[in-house]
Amino acid sequence: MTSPTDFDKLKKRLRAFMKENIYPNEILFQKQCHAIGQSGNEWTHAPILVDLKRKAKALGLWNLFLPVDSAQVAGTSLGAGLTNRQYGEVCEILGTSSPMEFASQATNCTSPDTGNMEVLARYGSKSQRDKWLTPLLNGTIRSCYAMTEPGNQNNLGSSDATNMSIRVDRDEGRKEYVINGDKWWITGAGSLHCKIMILMGKTNPDAAKHRQASQILVPMDTPGIKLIRPMLAFGEDDAPKGHFEIVFDNVRVPFENVLLGEGRGFEIAQGRLGPGRIHHCMRLIGQAERCLAAMCARIQTREVFKRKLSSFDNVLQDVAQCRAKIETCRLLVFKAADGMDQLGNKDPATRQLLSLVKAYVPKTVQEIADTCMQAHGAKGFSQDTPLWSAFAGARFLRMADGPDEVHWRTAARIELKMQRLSPLNDIGDYAPADSSRKTKVWRSSTDPISPAAQKLLAAYSKL
């Protein structure tokens, strides 16, 4: 694990890199990405991103995401030696860029590669790691993760992953899997740098519900993979990364491309989605800080009705509430990251925290961005600030990696199980002190009314 002194030096170096290289190039990066998206169907990295990748790598700001335990399992020294808790602070700094993953891409810490690299590190065979993990860690290739489906065949929603319908049949003669079906919102698939896909599909449809699916390595140059269209999120294609609808038409890969073994897809998914989800939320805290900084600068210079915006109590309350929300998100994220380090991703309490983080942080950051946009007036909705991007990114992440409702549901189910072991579980309600409460009646409907009360009632009736 990186020492506190070295960690402070790393953060200082990263902040300098952000100030000198990331923030000044945000507009250029967005312009280059848009031009690439409009140029045709051969999407490659924006030129400025390639330059920044080289700089970041030379500065040792590379693979900061890979936790020390995953690096040990994989037998690689290409990580930065950070814990998940330490990466929480680093990832927040990276998340202050606009777009949110600009700096993360420059430092090889972006989705979906980070999750895929952890899958390969933890669950891949040596040959799989040598072939795919090493070049991913070196940043010479990109990857994608194919899980979500449109549900065209069965009209069932992908928020329940057991609904997936993509067929993964076995050809015993050729010792190959044959894949047929559809996936969509496959992030990163549109880039020519994307060389490997991790696909989740049903290899054992007759097995127990959570033993039916497997995760399989599918090289992107395999015949039969058809990228149909980039999906537009709020009208944006997110080129040159993109989120694609894909058709698989008799796509064949050898049996040895399965990860960990047949029927263990959900087991891998639980291990993968924890880090992937929390990384997004770490970055979102950086987005919230960027929004609040912009709001505070705005309200101290902007005047309405002959008063600075900062003199209005409701505006000051908005500032304070944004700060409280950011601190709440940060504490929740850090506690979840500590759980990952100390107990592992599959620990029930850690799993609950990861679900809470994923459900709570994007919605809260969306609220913060909305408040900051409102304080900017019409400018807050324009291309002249990064606020709209923060708002859209937070809203999108309330659906990506599973909708809010699924994460609240998971957290609640774990809570009910944990409450059985709570020292407060058997305390119960207060018992009534009077055990004769059913026989000792305060008043019955047939009790006579006293003359004094009748007099009062008669007087009242004459109102």
Write out pLDDT tens, residues 361-373: 999 999 999 999 9
Query: How many CB atoms sit inside 10 A of residue 37's CB?
Result: 18
Indicate if the pLDDT at residue 274 is higher than 80.
no
Model pLDDT for residues 99-125, shown as the tens digit of each residue: 999 999 999 999 999 999 999 999 999
Residue partners of 250: CB distance under 8 A and separation at least 6: 178, 179, 180, 224
Amino acid at 266: F
In 3D space, the residue among 38, 23, 43 whose CA is nearest the CA of residue 99 turns out to be: 23
- 308 contacts 115 by C-beta, under 8 angstroms: no
What span, in angstroms and rounded, lies between the C-alpha atoms of 102 and 240? 12
* Nearest one of 259, 271, 266 to 177, comparing CA atoms: 259
Tokens of 98: 């606009």
* Residues sharing a CB contact under 8 Å with residue 376, sequence separation 6 or more, in sequence order: 294, 295, 298, 385, 387
Mean pLDDT (the chain, rounded):
94
Give the pLDDT mean for 320-340: 98
d(CA 316, CA 310): 6
Question: Is the pLDDT score of 8 beyond 90?
Answer: yes
The whole-angstrom separation of Cα 82 and Cα 282 is: 15
3-state secondary structure of 151: coil
CA dihedral 128, 132, 138, 141 (to 10 degrees): 180
Read off the pLDDT band of 305 (50, 70, 90).
very high
**Which residue type is seen at 162?**
T
pLDDT of 463 higher than 80: no
Burial degree of 176 (CB within 10 A; 0-12, 13-18, 19+): middle
**What are the beta bridge partners of residue 258?**
216
| pLDDT, tens only, 178-222 | 999 999 999 999 999 999 999 999 999 999 999 999 999 999 999
Helix axes 313-342, 265-299, angle to 10 degrees: 150
| Helical (H) or strand (E) element with 250 | strand 243-254
DSSP 233: B
Helix (H) or strand (E) holding 226: strand 225-230
Residues 250-267, mean pLDDT to the nearest whole number: 96
Q: Which is nearest to 405 in space by CA: 159, 119, 99?
A: 159
Structural tokens at position 149: 């489906």
Selection from 182, 194, 181 nearest residue 242 by Cα:
194
Q: Rounded to whole angstroms, how far apart are CA atoms 128 and 222?
A: 16
Q: Dump strand ranges (E) for 164-302.
A: 167-171, 176-187, 194-202, 213-219, 225-230, 243-254
- Ordered structural domains, the chain, with CATH: 1-124 (1.10.540.10), 142-259 (2.40.110.10), 265-419 (1.20.140.10)
Q: Which residue has the tokens 């312009």?
A: 31
Contact by Cβ (8 Å): 242, 45? no
CB 1 within 8 A of CB 81: yes
Average pLDDT over residues 345-355: 93
Note the pLDDT of residue 275: 79
